[in-house]
Amino acid sequence: MKIGETWNESEFYRDELTGRWIRRLTTQGRINQTPTYHTNSGFTADGSFIAFASVRDDATWIIRADVRTGELMALCIGRSRAVVAVLFILAVVGLLAASQTESSRPTVVIHVTSGPENLVAIERAYQMARAGLKEQRNVVLYFSQGGTQTAVRRFPREMRIDARSSYWQRFQDLIHEGARPVICGDSASLLGIQDGEFFQNTEITNDDRAIYRITGTRATVWTF
């Protein structure tokens, strides 16, 4: 392992009690530890990243994890507790600065209200979301009304245009690339859709104000 190297060892599993999907960030390393004192936190201000110490290859590394995608990056290496403590502080300070840059990026909200019966609209929603990611935008996939059916696991995998991948897989790929899926909980309830049926790592909310907190003040909305 070397400084700057990135990889992803995370895994998804469904909580047996709630049915929610959970992302486990680390599956390797002898020790993976965040600050242990209650006043300290390894999370950035917006909760997008977490820094932690990990013992790997007989050395202690400071590693950054992207909470949404699970991508890990080796930030620095230390040989003693004092050095590791200093490096950890510097890493968190750097992450705070990075999170401020991340939060300053414009946000694009792809509001999907069309269901499986309107593949043309779903295709346009996918293309706009993909373009937003390529342009380094924060992309929020907001599914409500009939569009809530587009985000469920039972969305027909064979539904596609031409020979392209199924829409289920294409939207899942966008989420793995950093798009943030959000579901209108009221729409899901009215359509009888359970939480565990949605894309992995999906946020479900009944709070109308929550979408504003998620998107911030610099958001462009496209509705399909």
pLDDT at 99 over 80: no
Q: How far is CA 218 from CA 54, 69, 142, 151, 222, in A?
A: 36, 23, 16, 25, 14
What is residue 93's predicted lDDT score, i.e. its pLDDT? 53
The pLDDT of 141-159, averaged and rounded, is 77
Q: Determine the pLDDT at residue 7.
A: 92
Question: Which residues partner with 221 through β-bridges?
Answer: 109
Give the pLDDT of residue 125. 94
Please report the pLDDT score of residue 142 as a whole number: 92
- Boundaries of CATH 3.40.1260.10 in the chain? 107-223
Give me the pLDDT at residue 151, please: 83
CATH number of the domain located at residue range(s) 107-223 in this protein = 3.40.1260.10
pLDDT, one tens digit per residue, over 107-146 is 899 999 998 888 889 999 999 999 999 888 889 999 999 8
Per-residue pLDDT, 39: 61
Q: Quote the percentage of the chain above a pLDDT of 90.
A: 14
User: For all residues of the chain together, what is the average pLDDT?
Assistant: 78
Mean pLDDT of 71-98: 62
Question: 43 or 140, which is more confident?
Answer: 140
30 alpha carbon, distance to own chain's centre: 26
Q: Which one has a higher pLDDT value, 75 or 210?
A: 75
Residue 78's pLDDT is 65
| Enclosing H/E stretch for 96 | helix 81-104
Query: Rounded CA gap, 13 and 92, in Å?
Result: 28
- Reported as type and span, the H/E element at residue 121 is helix 119-134
Query: What is the structure's pLDDT at 202?
Result: 83
Is residue 44 very low, low, confident or very high in pLDDT (cuts 50, 70, 90)? confident
pLDDT at 224 over 90: yes
Across 88-110, average pLDDT: 62
